[in-house]
Amino acid sequence: MGASALAAATAGERIFFILQAVLMAISAATTALVARAWGAGDRAEAEHVARASLILCIAVATAAGALGLLIAPQLAAIFQLDDATRELTTTYIRWLMLFNPSFAVFFALGAAVRAAGDTRTPLWIGGLANVLNVALLFPLVFGAFGFEGLGIKGAALSGGGAFTIGSAVFLWRWWSGKLLVKRGGSGALTRARILRIARIGTPAGLEQLVFQVGFVLFLFIVSFYGTEPYAAYGVGVRILSFSFVVGSGFSIAASTLVGQHLGARDPSGASRSGWRSMGISIAAMSIFGLLIVLAAEPIARFMIDDDEVVRLSVVFIYILGSVQPLMAIEFTLAGALRGAGDTRFPLYTVLAGMLLVRSTLAVTFSLLDLPVEWIFAALIGDYIVKASLLTWRFHSGRWQRALLR
Q: From first to last of the 405 residues of the chain, give the pLDDT tens digit.
A: 777 777 788 778 777 777 777 788 888 889 889 988 998 889 999 999 999 999 999 998 899 888 888 888 888 887 777 778 888 888 888 888 888 898 899 889 999 999 998 989 999 999 999 899 889 888 888 877 777 778 888 888 888 899 899 999 999 999 999 999 998 777 887 888 888 888 888 888 788 778 877 877 888 888 888 888 878 888 888 888 888 888 888 998 998 899 899 988 899 999 999 999 999 999 999 998 899 889 889 988 888 888 888 999 999 999 988 999 999 999 999 999 988 888 889 999 999 998 889 989 999 999 999 999 999 999 999 999 999 999 999 999 988 876 544
Q: Looking at residue 402, what is its pLDDT?
A: 64
Query: CA 121 to CA 104: how far, in whole Å?
Result: 16
Q: Looking at residue 55, what is its pLDDT?
A: 92
Q: Over the chain, what HEC string results?
A: CCHHHHHHHHHHHHHHHHHCHHHHHHHHHHHHHHHHHHHCCCHHHHHHHHHHHHHHHHHHHHHHHHHHHHCHHHHHCCCCCCHHHHHHHHHHHHHHHCCHHHHHHHHHHHHHHHHCCCCHHHHHHHHHHHHHHHHHHHHHHHCCCCCCCCCHHHHHHHHHHHHHHHHHHHHHHHHCCCCCCCCCCCCCCCHHHHHHHHHHHHHHHHHHHHHHHHHHHHHHHHHCCCHHHHHHHHHHHHHHHHHHHHHHHHHHHHHHHHHHHHHCCCHHHHHHHHHHHHHHHHHHHHHHHHHHHHCHHHHHHHHCCCHHHHHHHHHHHHHHHCCHHHHHHHHHHHHHHHHCCCCHHHHHHHHHHHHHHHHHHHHHHHHCCCCHHHHHHHHHHHHHHHHHHHHHHHHHCHHHHHHHC
Residue 44, classified by CB atoms within 10 Å of its CB into exposed (0-12), middle (13-18) or buried (19+), is: exposed
pTM of the complete model = 0.75
* Residue closest to 300 by CA, chosen among 289, 315, 319, 313: 313
**94 Cβ neighbours under 8 A, 6+ residues apart:** 68, 69, 72
* Residue closest to 235 by CA, chosen among 151, 298, 178: 298
Q: Looking at residue 250, what is its pLDDT?
A: 93
Q: Looking at residue 279, what is its pLDDT?
A: 95
Q: Over 195-216, what HEC string results?
A: HHHHHHHHHHHHHHHHHHHHHH
